[in-house]
Structure 1
Amino acid sequence: MILNRNDKCWCGSRLKYKNCHLDFDKKLEALKNQGCIVPTRNLIKSKEQIEGIRKSAKINNGLLDLVSENIKEGMTTEEINKLAHEYTISQGGIPATLNYDGFPKSICTSINDEVCHGIPSKDVVLKNGDIINVDATTILNGYYSDASRMFMIGEVTDKARKIVEITKECLNKAIESVKPWGFLGDIGAVIQEYAESNGYSVVRDFGGHGVGLNIHEEPFVSHFGIRGTDMILAPGMVFTIEPMINGGSHEIFIDEDNGWTAFTADGALSAQWEHTILVTEDGIEIISK
C-alpha cells in the first residue's frame, strides 16, 4: 500500500505517516536497494501490540519465578506442570502449549539429554544432579510471550553446571549482538562461535522465532550462522533467542512414542535458555525471561 505523507500511518498509531514510519520505511527501502533482506510490515509490532506482549510476559515471568521458588528434588514434572498451569489461569492467562498441535501439557520440561519439548509426567521424578529446562509460553488477550530457564537440582556435576552456564552466556552474548538496523545472522554467529570455542555444539534443527501475535511467527532465528547476513533487525521486531547447546554432537532425534521430545543423538547433556526480545530505536528490551 502506498501512503501519502499526510495519510494515517500503516502501523495503527493514528499519527500521520510523515510523523510516524515514513523515515523508517525510507531506511528499509534504502537497505533493500543495497541487497539486504528487510522485514515486512507485519513483523513490526505497534505500540499497542508491544504493550499487550509485555502484559502477557508479566504472567510468563511470574510463572517461571514461581517454578524457580518451588522446583526441587523429588518433585515430578507433572507437579511442575500443574503449578504453572494453575498460576497462569489464576492470572487470567492461557497456557499456549496446551493442545498446541496436540501437545498435551501447559509447559515443556526437558531433562539432561532431552533437548526440548519434554512432556511433563507423574512418572518423571527429579533426581539429585539433574538439569532441567522449563519452557513456558503464555497467551493474554491474544498476545503471546515465551521464555525458558534452566534449573540445577541438588548437587550437579561440574560438567552439568558448565553446560548450563555456557548456554546462558551464549544467550547473553547473543542479546548483546542485537542492534537496531543490524543483522539477524549476527545472533547465530555469536552463539556458534562462543559455544564451539568452549567445546560444545549448537542444535541446528530448532531455533528462535518471531512471537507476539502467534506462538510462532517469522523470522526464524538461527543459532548458528555468519555475521552480516540474513534479515535486517528493525525497531519493533519481537522474537525469541533460545540457544540449545549440546555437550557432544549437535545431532538429535525425536522420540517416536510421543512425537515431541527431542534427545541428543549421543546421549550427551543439553541445555537451553530463552528470552523474548524487542528491538527498539536505540537498543533492545528483554520482554520475557
Structure 2
Amino acid sequence: MIEILDPDKLPQARETGALVGHILRTVRDRSTVGTNLLEIDRWAQEMITEAGAQSCYVDYAPSFGRGPFGHYICTAVNDAVLHGLPHDYALADGDLLTLDLAVSLGGVAADSAISFVVGGSRPPESVALIEATERALAAGIAAAGPGARIGDISHAIGKVLRGAGYPINTEFGGHGIGSTMHQDPHVPNTGRPGRGYKLRPGLLLALEPWVMADTARLVTDDDGWTLRSETGCRTAHSEHTIAVTEDGAEILTLPKPA
C-alpha cells in the first residue's frame, strides 16, 4: 500500500517526527561508557509513554523476525547494523552504537536512526562509516521531490556509498511510512535514476542508508532479530522520515531546537 498523507495531517507528522528526533537525541546524549542497552530501552519506553505515543516495535512481528520484537528501540553495536534487540550489554569506549526508533502519535508514524561512537575514542573506520551514511542520507533527501522517482533517490544514495568504497546490501532499505511504520514503496540503497514510483506531495518516506565496512552479507543472531555483518566488520546506519512537498522534501525527524 502506498499512502498519501492528507495535507491537514502534515502538522501531526511533524509532531511525531520531532518526538522521534527528541528521543534519539536524548538517548544519544545519555549513552556513555557503562550504559546498558536495556537501560536505553527503558529510557525510550518512558519517553514514548510520557508523550502519549505508541511504540511501533513492541508488537512488531514481520516474517523476517522472530516476533514480537518486545522492545521499544533497536540498539545495534559494532558489527550489528539492523534490528538490534536490546540485551544485557554495557557499552565500552569506542563502541559504534546505532539507535533506530519508530513511534506513532496521533495516527501518524515516524522512523529515524543515528549511529555514533561511545566515549572518547574515535576509530577512523567507524567515523568514516558514519559520515558516509550521513552524506548518503543527505543526497537521498536532496533527490526527493514531486515528480522525482524512487530510483532517483536510490541512485543518489548508492552513488555516495559506492564512492566511499562500501558494498551495498539491497535486502533492507528505506520505505513508505504513514499510518503504519512499513509501507510501499521500497527504497533500495542503490538503483537506476528515472525508474520506479513517481513521488507525489503528501508521500512520507523513511530513507535509511546503511553499510558494512567490507561485506554486503548479513547474518542473524540467535535472538532471531539482530542482523550483523557476516565478516564481523563495523557498520553504520542513518535514517530520517521525510515528507514530499510541493517544492521538495521536508525532514520530519529533526529534534526541535533545545
AA matched with 1:85: Q
Number of the residue aligned with 1:119: 85
Q: Count the aligned residue pairs.
A: 247
Which shifted more, 230-239 or 43-52?
43-52
Unaligned runs of 5+ in 2: 62-67
* Aligned-partner SS, 1:199: coil
Which shifted more, 225-234 or 56-65?
56-65
Number of the residue aligned with 2:217: 251
Number of the residue aligned with 1:108: 74
TM-score by length of 2: 0.92
1:160 and 2:126 are equivalent in the alignment:
yes
TM-score by length of 1: 0.82
**Identical-residue share of aligned pairs (%):** 31
Number of the residue aligned with 1:71: 31
Task: Give the Å deviation of 1:235.
Answer: 1.1
1:213 and 2:170 are equivalent in the alignment:
no
Aligned partners of 1:79, 1:151: CA distance in 2, in Å? 17
Conserved? CA contact 1:43–1:237, under 8 Å: yes
How is 1:121-270 mapped onto 2 (pairs within 5 angstroms)? 121=87, 123-154=88-119, 155-255=121-221, 257-270=222-235
Which structure has the higher relative contact order (CA within 8 Å, separation 6+)? 2
* Aligned-partner SS, 2:127: helix
Q: 1:113-161: per-residue Cα shift (whole Å, max 9, x none)?
A: 112001111x211111111110111111222111111121120311111
1:280 and 2:240 are equivalent in the alignment:
no
Number of the residue aligned with 1:58: 18
Unaligned runs of 5+ in 1: 1-39
Which shifted more, 110-119 or 197-206?
197-206
Task: Give the Å deviation of 1:177.
Answer: 1.1
Compare CA radii of gyration and give the structure with the larger one. Answer: 1
Aligned partners of 1:166, 1:133: CA distance in 2, in Å? 14
- 4+ runs of 1 displaced by more than 6 Å? none
* Aligned-partner SS, 2:40: helix
CA RMSD of aligned residues (A): 1.3
Task: Give the Å deviation of 1:57.
Answer: 1.7
